[in-house]
Structure 1
Amino acid sequence: MTQLELFLDLGLALAIGLLIGVERGWKTREAEEGGRFAGLRTFGLIGLLGGVWGLIAREVDPLLLGFALLGFTGLMGLGYYLGVQRDRDYGFTTEAAALVAFALGALVQLGYPAAAAAMAVVTVTLLSFKVVVHGWLRRLEPQELNATLQLLLISVVLLPILPDRGYGPWQALNPYIIWWMVVLIAAISLFGYFAVKIAGPDRGILFTSAFGGLAASTAVTLSLARMGRENAELQPLLAAGVLLASSTMFPRLLLVVAAVSPALLPTLLVPVGVMAVVGYAAALLLWRSAARLPARVRLSHPFELATAVKFGAVLALVMLLSVALREWYGDLGVYLLAAASGIADVDAITLSLAGMVPGTLLAGVAAYGIVIAALVNTTVKGLLVVFIAGGSMARRTALAVTAVVLSGMAATLATAPMAG
């Protein structure tokens, strides 16, 4: 390491301490001189101290850094004890920030300057959000906390340990992919719940539908249908959300085809584009016809894990059926395979068929298969709403989905013969 690099790293360690010190000093700016635990200068020195000890540990023995951190922690603990005895203030935030400043200063010298700088910014942001974070905690309800913990359990704990390989007949069942869909449905449901609670039903539902539809429109539909079953006053707006999420599937499908097999794009552009236009128009009409809702609507449950698990079981059955049709009928089963795959998802069959062109599959056959999957998937979304939500949401969604499907069929026939 050159002298310039050494000074730059020590300067960064000092800057990290100063950055944290600015936030801590601003919080206690009204305190008298000597009346606060640590301010701008002290935090700057703490960051520099961490950088110096990181340099010593790197050049002499890494164990020295552990002893230095242990000693500094003891010093912070003594200061905290004296502060509690004097002021009866049990807050430990400033002491914790000092420990972080020391550790980040050392991290710079250990070869991770970018990570240290980024974590310093995150630390200052978190410290400055005290009022906001405490406000969130006060408004957090027990079922919301339980739902968040359940989502973390099934995603962070369970998902990584599942094998990402096929099992069962034809190795068609992949536990990782199936459970990933369960996690996705649960995450979209929880996201939609908080979006509606924070932004209000109008903006929250539409925001969830638009962005959730980019990832998994079927999962969004399932979540909104369940919400509609429990909240009759939201049904007109939820119907618009279903159409918005469903329609977002069509441009996403075209983007996938353009990336994998651009030669298919001209063939699919008309039927898929027509369905997208009709779907977005129906979503707009449903949204404009929906009565304005109050700013706050009582939502009963963030999501139901059992519903997501049932959908995962259905997905597993569809995956098995799809592979079986391909094995039994070969290329003649492409359309049946597309229809079966479209029950749960269009991305997998789209990637599969587009990847076979040119080569083992005619462009027209692949295009027909993709359109069939899109039509079936759109129909399934309508049926989900009809059987789960019912009421005005079912009627509105059924009419709109019928319009989308019929327009797609008409556009497909108008551009025939695609298989040529």
Structure 2
Amino acid sequence: MEMLEAFQRIGLALAIGLLAGIERGWQERDMADGQRVAGIRTFALVGLLGGLAGYLGLIVGAAVPATLAAGLVAAFIVFDYKAAAPHNDFSVTSVIAALVIFALGIVSVTGDMRLAAAGGVVTTVLLAARHSLHGFLKTMTWVELRSALVLLTMSFVALPLLPDRAIDPWGGFNPFAVWLMTVMIAALSYAGYAAMRIAGPDRGILFAGATGGVVSSTATTLSFARISVSEPALARKLAGAASIAGGLSLVRCFVIASAVAPVLAKPLAFALAPGLFAFVVASLLLSGSRGHPKADLHLSNPFELWSVLRFGALLGVIGFVARILVNVLGPSSIVFIALVSGIPDLDAITLSTAHLAGNAVPVDTAAIAVLTATVSNLVTKVALAYGSGTRDYSRLLALVTLGVVLVGGAGFWAFLVLLR
């Protein structure tokens, strides 16, 4: 190792220690001198010690870094115990943090500097987020914790065990791809649920519609319809919130389709962007009415295992049937499949169609299928609104949906006729 590179790497180790030391010193800034076990200077020296240990390890072997690490841990334990004993406030965080900074100092010299720098930032963020993380744990329910554990199990236990290939003779069912898409949709839904859980419905109906639209725009529309029965005066505001939920369903559709098949991004953008604009304008116009709801928007936990398995089964069946029918009847059959599949759920048919786009199905046909499913889903929401909500709420939502379909259709026509 050249001397200039050695200085750069050891300097990075020192910088990592300084970064963590600033956070530790800030946390203990109100303590008197002599009561702080480790602050900015100590952690800076720990990082520097780790860098020097890594440099020496390259010269004389691993025995020196190991000995220094053992001595560092012993010293921190002794001093931390003496500082905590009078206050009966014991914590191993500082000891672990010092050991991590020491290890990152070694990585700075002997490994990838980018990994070491990222590790230093992540470590400091975790140390600084103490109060936020503890507060989050105090408010977390068992259902939410269980849902998070299900997500982790789905992602890191079940997914790697599935074969990443079609297991049927027709090439229509890939267990890995189906489960990966299921995990992606579940994670997206849980993110929306978490946003709603943290901010709460007291931020207003419009915010509830936005966060609810990420979870499930259909469920949100139905929930607002029921609220409109008990609060008829809020029909306009509820229709505005349902409109923003519908707009986010278009965003969700575009993100999913373009992530799986980037070739769909351009044709879908010409249809979905005008539709989103119409939804947003309608939402702003309708949500300006006065009043506050007496009922809250109740969103079910999106991560119940049964609902996840049901969605995975639906996705697998639609993907398999779509592949078979496309092979037998031709690419145009995907449009009819989308028309029917979009009634109960938009995500599954969007994913299935995106997987076929540009391969078994032409890009334009795939785009038409996704948009057909979108229109089918929007009309379904209007039907649910008429079945469960007031006349004003349903009528306003129907007018907004009609406008969205018209401007979206015009945008897609412009793409097909003028830009081809």
Common fold, TM-score beyond 0.5?
yes
- Structure 1 residue 303, shift from structure 2 partner: 3.7
Instruction: Classify 1:375/1:62 alpha carbon distance in 2 versus 1 (closer, same or farther; 3 Å).
Output: same
Deviation larger for 193-202 or 2-11:
193-202
Equivalences for 1:7-406 in 2 at 5 Å?
7-201=7-201, 202=204, 204-205=207-208, 207-208=210-211, 212=214, 220-221=216-217, 224=220, 236=239, 239-248=242-251, 260=263, 275-285=275-285, 287-288=287-288, 292-293=292-293, 301=301, 303-331=303-331, 333=333, 335-336=335-336, 339=339, 344-346=348-350, 348-349=352-353, 352-354=356-358, 367=364, 370-380=367-377, 382-383=379-380, 391-392=388-389, 395=394, 400-401=400-401, 403-405=403-405
How far is 1:103 from its partner? 1.3
CA contact (8 A) 2:53 2:65 kept: yes
Judge conservation of contact 1:188–1:220 (CA < 8 Å) in 2. Answer: no
**How far apart are the structure 1 equivalents of 2:37 and 2:46?**
13
Contact 1:375 1:405 in 2 (8 A): no
Structure 1 residue 374: deviation in Å? 0.8
Is the CA contact 1:375–1:408 (under 8 Å) kept in the aligned structure 2? Answer: no
Report SS of the residue matched to 2:114.
Answer: helix
SS in structure 1 opposite 2:180?
helix
* Cα deviation 1:168-220 (Å, max 9, x = unaligned): 3512112122223332332233222221233343464455467x5xxxxxx74
For residues 92 and 253 of structure 1, what CA distance do their matches in structure 2 show?
43
1:367 deviation in Å? 3.4
Q: CA deviation at 1:318?
A: 1.0
Letter in 2 for 1:248: V
Contact 2:182 2:308 in 1 (8 A): yes
Change over 3 Å in CA distance of 1:372–1:9 after alignment to 2 = closer
C-alpha distance after superposition, 1:71-95 (max 9, x if no partner): 3223323333333444422122222
Matched residue of 1:171: which SS? coil
Please give the secondary structure, in 1, of the residue aligned with 2:250.
helix
Shift of 1:256: 8.2
1:274 shift after superposition: 5.5
Look up the match of 2:234: none
Supply the distance in 1 between the matched residues of 2:33 and 2:185 (Cα, whole angstroms): 55
With over 3 angstroms needed to count, the CA separation of the structure-2 counterparts of 1:410 and 1:101, relative to structure 1, is: closer
- 8 Å Cα contact 2:53/2:106 also seen in 1: yes
Q: Would the aligned equivalents of 1:54 and 1:65 in 2 still touch at CA under 8 Å?
A: yes
Q: 1:47 to 1:275 in 2, by over 3 A?
A: closer
- Tell me the amino acid that sits aligned with residue 243 of structure 1: G
Q: Structure 1 length normalisation: TM-score?
A: 0.77
Cα distance in 2 for residues equivalent to 1:269 and 1:27: 48
Shift of 1:105: 1.2
Question: For the structure 1 residues 124 and 294, does the alpha-carbon distance in structure 2 shift closer, same or farther, using more than 3 Å as the test?
Answer: farther
Q: CA deviation at 1:108?
A: 0.7
| Contact kept in structure 2, 1:192 and 1:204, CA below 8 Å | no
Instruction: Name the CA shift for 1:163/1:190 in 2 (closer, same or farther; >3 Å).
Output: same
Gapped runs of 5+ residues in structure 1?
213-218
User: Contact conserved, 2:212 with 2:299, CA < 8 A, in 1?
Assistant: no
CA contact (8 A) 2:279 2:404 kept: yes
AA of the residue aligned to 1:383? T
SS of alignment partner, residue 167 of structure 2: coil
1:154, distance to aligned residue in structure 2 (A): 1.7
Deviations 1:260-301 (A, max 9, x none): 389x85xx8876666455444444455446954479866563
More divergent stretch after superposition (106-115 vs 247-256): 247-256
How many angstroms does 1:18 deviate by?
2.2
Q: 2-side partners of 1:379 and 1:287: how far apart?
A: 25
Give deviations 1:349-390, integer Å, cap 9, x for gaps. 35744568xxx96xxxx6355324312233135436856996
42-51 vs 270-279, which moves further: 270-279
Question: Take 1:300 and 1:256, find their aligned partners in 2: how far apart are those partners?
Answer: 27
Checking the alignment, whether the CA contact within 8 Å between 2:340 and 2:376 is kept in structure 1 is no
Q: Is the 8 A contact 1:275 1:407 kept in 2?
A: yes
Residues 322 and 340, structure 1, Cα contact 8 Å, conserved in 2:
no
Once the 2 structures are TM-superposed, how far is the Cα of residue 305 of structure 1 from its aligned partner?
2.8
Aligned partners of 2:63, 2:386: CA distance in 1, in Å?
A: 62
Q: Distance in 1 between matches of 2:101 and 2:183?
A: 36
Q: Is the 8 A contact 1:253 1:347 kept in 2?
A: yes
For structure 1, which segment, 89-98 or 392-401, has the greater mean C-alpha deviation from structure 2 after superposition? 392-401
Q: Distance between the aligned counterparts of 2:416 and 2:51, measured in 1?
A: 70
Q: CA deviation at 1:37?
A: 1.0
User: Which stretch has the larger CA shift, 294-303 or 323-332?
Assistant: 294-303
Root-mean-square deviation (CA, aligned residues, Å) is 4.3
Q: Which amino acid is 1:73 matched to? A: V
| Aligned-partner Cα distance in 2 for 1:416–1:19 | 55
**Which ranges in structure 2 are unaligned for 5 or more consecutive residues?**
232-236
- Percentage of matched positions with identical amino acids: 32
